[in-house]
Amino acid sequence: MSRIVGIDLGTTNSLVAIMNGKEPKVIADREGRTLVPSVISVDEQGWMVGERAQQRLMTHPQSTIYSVKRLMGKGLTDVQEERKYFPVSLTEKQPGIIQVELGPYRLTPPELSALILKEVKHRAEEFLRTKVTQAVITVPAYFNDSQRQATKDAGRIAGLDVLRIVNEPTAACLAYGLQKKKQGVIAVYDLGGGTFDISILKVKDGIFEVLATNGNTHLGGDDLDQRLMELVLQEIRVEFGQNLQEDVESIQQIRLGVEKAKRQLSTEEVTEIVISLKQGVVYRRPLKRSELESKVRDLIDLTIGPCRQAMEDAHLSLKEIDEVVLVGGATRMPLVSQLVQEFFQKTPHSELNPDEVVAMGAAVQADILAGGIQNMLLLDVTPLSLGIETMGGVMSVLIPRNSTIPTNAKELFTTFVDGQRSVDIHVYQGERELVKDNRSLARFQLKDLDPLPAGMPRIEVNFTIDANGILHVSAKDLRGGREHSVEVKPSYGLSDDDVLRMIEESFTFAKSDMEARLLIEARNEAATILAHTERALRRAEHLVAPEERGRIQDRIIDLKRSMEENDHRLIRERIEQLDKSTVHLAERLMDSTLQNGLKDKKLSDLP
Amino acid sequence: MSGEKDSLARSLCWNCQSEVGGEYFCDHCIKIQPAPSDVDFFQRLGLPRHLTIDLQDLERRFHDLSRKIHPDLFQQRSEREKAISLQNAAILNTAYRTLRDPILRVEYLINVEEGAVKDISAKAPPDLLEEIMELQEALEEFKQLRRTPSGEGARLKETLMAKRDRLGARKDILEKDLLSLFQEWDRFQDQRPDYADGPEEHRKSLLRRMKDLLSARAYLRTVLQDLDEGLRDR
């Protein structure tokens, strides 16, 4: 039976987990590492993901990318803030679709995320010794429709059937519910690498009902690092008179240096930032925990507003919260748990590994969908209100935020002009009064209406948000009762055709990656054999007849020629031919080596 | 409640063609059935059309039904069953959200009773009209005055706060009146007693009174929001 895996596709790290009997288990690599750094790099041999790609951040910053999640479901204008994080060039393929330039390739964020998904999928396949085709993937609870859709597209491009998109804090709560048997009202505070979520859940007899969720998709550990980087850059300018703002290699050095110091300060009171710059210059600076805290406190304070709003939306007072759970690597900072404790007036829990708990929850949800766990059910909500544009650019809310999903709303549409043949519906997500302040999701067009006097057509449009938090629209002509066609133009992200093309391309990519690797391996092997043979010929000059020597020389020339072609099969063939031609030489050489070797030894020295 | 069941639309199971009566599952082949469009939110949760609802009972019903019809449980089934469970769960969730909130609940009831979707527009209670007009003028004046700190601004703020409290109290009374109409509605539903003006007249009058209270409440709510917004410290 094929297994459904749970994947946490994180900003900084990704993980894959499965249900192992009754327990979720995060799959580790041979070295025992569970985290796959969400870093992608490319060279002439092909793509690299994870540790290997991460090592290239400093050596090849222009062909390496990280934090791709920050770009998912966005247009170029949305990521002006983010651009300073990325040493690579970002362009827009068409409005609403970002392209990342990496070496000779230009890829969209879903294609890049698909490379990470393939890596973790591969990891799971090695562990399970079977193909993996179905997955549950987690996203921040506060992700909008476009960001969720982009994640689903990434799954499809990676060859995965994404059975469910689950919200990260909810997944964490499922893991806690299963393993720690937590019940009652639970607040999950999730501060990850790039996003913040707060979710309030009511857990009762196996039902995990989300009451409210809120968050900030532009706030996480990366932003704290950014603060420290600004400090270090400033100090380097003063101390060494160097402006490194545009120096991508040094920026990566600094990024890794401050990140390490930040992590150390979660357990130590004081640490040292050490950064080796170019020309042997070393920047060193002691950093106290209190200093770090004063630099980032305002950022962590930004999480309190969403917590307050979530409590209000859940109609709960702080007294009614039974448990507070911390999720995400950034919650390891003592200042974070301190502020959470101050706000909720309760000691927060983090018994389960905050890096792994989301992936574990995804595996739990995968098992629920597979029919394994039968007494647990997750009822999640949509984080943002869904509405349509009405007269004067006003947002008319159809589905309020924090509605349990799936959910739907019906709206009746008609025409304003006699004979009007189509009606445009512009759908938005957000909490503001005017659509211009909200996020455009898509334009829907009801086409081929019967030409009737204004106001006569009656088209009922059904807006459904599925259990993934993704919108579907269908329309029915109430006069005829027939289904009406709806043309969808997503405002951000890929069309279905784009995704299909990328799935195909990813196969050819994989194939050409493989071809390239085989070619390089064959060339390397040929070079080794050539070196050996040439050396042997020199050493055994007196042992081979001239005509044998000439035959070998010809084979050498043949092999060298084949190495200039791009056909690994031809190289292999020539290697074999050369091998055959040197069998005799090798034998003679072996004999003589043996004799030489024995010359200076006594018999008693031999084993 | 066989009488209630009979009133539902009768149709055929999409799978085995047995007759089904608006239930979630076919009695015969146990396949999930699409919700008929004339089944209201009360029926979806197995409740009579009452306005007083025990919220714990409502939650229990919602959870029990979710355990039966949620799309998670149909992941391994046919595309058709998946689609039906998605639509059914969407309606159930919307029904629960609507009935859980007393205001959404009564607005929904009025819509189904009157057979059409009609928005309840905000309307000022006639006796408060003049007072609210004055209040809005005073609020504008206060906003002007605030630009330059003065004793007059502080005095005006105090007056406005007092008026705000009075209006808030009035809104509470409206909501209490509405709740007593809830009870009257439920009694009427249970007994349909012989009212002098006949059950149909009484039904209409109850709906009209509830609508008036809702209009006044919606109006007061907007005024109070504006006031709170205007009086908030910058």
3-class secondary structure, A288: strand
pLDDT at A593: 63
Residue A213 or residue B111, greater confidence: A213
Q: Give the lowest-confidence range in A288-292, B172-176, B191-195.
A: B191-195
A274-280: average pLDDT: 84
B108-133: average pLDDT: 75
Residues from A contacting B (CB-CB < 8 Å) are 163-164, 204-205, 207, 209, 368-371, 377-379, 403-409, 412, 464-467
Distance from CA of A197 to the nearest CA of B (A): 23
Q: A558 to each of A138, A410, A527, A552, A553, how far by Cα in Å?
A: 54, 74, 13, 10, 9
* Residue A565 binned pLDDT confidence (cut-offs 50, 70, 90): confident
Q: Chain B residue closest to A371 (CA)?
A: B73
Q: Check B90 against A204: CB less than 8 A apart.
A: no
Active site residue A29: no
Neighbours of B157 (CB within 10 A): 17
Q: Check A377 against B75: CB less than 8 A apart.
A: no
Q: Chain A residue closest to B89 (CA)?
A: A406
Phi/psi for A582 (5° steps) reads: -105, 5
Q: What is the pLDDT of residues A534-549, one digit of tens each?
A: 888 887 777 788 888 8
Distance from CA of B130 to the nearest CA of A (A): 28
pLDDT at B6 over 60: no
Chain A residues whose CB is inside 8 A of the B58 CB are: none
What string of DSSP letters covers chain B? -HHHHHTSPPEE-TTT--EE-S-SB-TTT--B-PPPTT--HHHHTT--S-S---HHHHHHHHHHHHHHH-GGGGTTS-HHHHHHHHHHHHHHHHHHHHHHSHHHHHHHHHHHHTTS---------GGGHHHHHHHHHHHHHHHHHHTS--HHHHHHHHHHHHHHHHHHHHHHHHHHHHHHHHHHHHHHHHH----TT-HHHHHHHHHHHHHHHHHHHHHHHHHHHHHHHHHS--
* Residue A306 binned pLDDT confidence (cut-offs 50, 70, 90): very high
Does the interface ipTM go beyond 0.95? no
Chain B residues whose CB is inside 8 A of the A467 CB are: 70-72, 86, 89
Q: What is the pLDDT of residues A107-126, one digit of tens each?
A: 899 999 999 999 999 999 98
Selection from A133, A172, A135, A169 nearest residue A151 by Cα? A135
Q: Check B87 against A370: CB less than 8 A apart.
A: no
Residue A243 or residue A195, greater confidence: A195
Active site residue A69: yes
pLDDT at B68: 92
B2-30: average pLDDT: 69
**Residues B37, B22: contact at Cβ < 8 Å?**
no
Chain B residues whose CB is inside 8 A of the A370 CB are: 75-76
pLDDT at A360: 96
pLDDT at B90 over 60: yes
Distance from CA of A433 to the nearest CA of B (A): 14
pLDDT at A493: 76
* Residue A343 binned pLDDT confidence (cut-offs 50, 70, 90): very high
**Residues B213, B174: contact at Cβ < 8 Å?**
yes
Mutate to test the interface with B, among A205, A369, A476 (most CBs of B within 10 A): A369
Active site residue A190: yes
Q: Give the lowest-confidence range in A188-202, B130-144, B165-179.
A: B130-144
A80-98: average pLDDT: 80
Do strands A282-288 and A270-276 pair parallel, antiparallel, or not at all (unpaired)? antiparallel
3-class secondary structure, A326: strand
Q: Give the lowest-confidence range in A261-265, A296-300, A579-583.
A: A579-583
Q: A198 to each of A6, A132, A284, A377, A444, how far by Cα in Å?
A: 21, 31, 37, 20, 32
C-alpha A438 chain-centroid distance = 26
Closest partner residue to B89 among A204, A207, A406, by Cβ?
A406
pLDDT at A189: 96
**Residues A389, A435: contact at Cβ < 8 Å?**
yes
Residue B197 or residue A66, greater confidence: A66
Q: Chain A residue closest to B116 (CA)?
A: A412
Q: How many CB pairs under 8 A join A and B?
A: 58
**Residues A386, A440: contact at Cβ < 8 Å?**
no
pLDDT at B10: 63
Residue A192 or residue A478, greater confidence: A192
A280-296: average pLDDT: 91
pLDDT at B149: 65
| Backbone dihedral region for residue A469 (phi beyond 0: left; psi -120 to 50: alpha; all else: beta) | left
Cis amide bond preceding A406, omega within 30: yes
Average per-residue pLDDT for chain A:
87
pLDDT at A364: 95
Selection from A75, A48, A63, A41 nearest residue A494 by Cα? A75
d(CA A405, CA A397): 16
Distance from CA of A26 to the nearest CA of B (A): 23
Q: Check A163 against B75: CB less than 8 A apart.
A: yes
d(CA A181, CA A170): 15
B205-211: average pLDDT: 89
Q: What is the pLDDT of residues A122-131, one digit of tens each?
A: 999 989 989 9
Distance from CA of B176 to the nearest CA of A (A): 20
pLDDT at A224: 93
Place of tokens 């197995």: B46
Q: Would the CA dihedral through A486, A491, A494, A497 be positive or negative?
A: positive
pLDDT at A556: 92
- CB of B17 within 8 Å of any CB in chain A? no
Catalytic residue among A145, A153, A190, A225: A190
Structure tokens, A51: 């540790």
- CB of B67 within 8 Å of any CB in chain A? yes
Q: What is the pLDDT of residues A507-522, one digit of tens each?
A: 666 656 666 667 777 8
pTM reported for the whole predicted model = 0.82
Neighbours of A515 (CB within 10 A): 14
User: Which pairs from B79-85 meet CB under 8 Å and 24+ separation?
Assistant: B80/B14, B81/B31, B81/B32, B84/B32, B84/B33, B84/B34, B85/B32
Residue A1 or residue B222, greater confidence: B222
Active site residue A602: no
Chain B residues whose CB is inside 8 A of the A466 CB are: 71, 86
Selection from A92, A168, A524 nearest residue A326 by Cα? A168
Q: Give the lowest-confidence range in A177-191, A444-458, A567-581, B220-234.
A: B220-234
Residue A33 or residue A84, greater confidence: A33
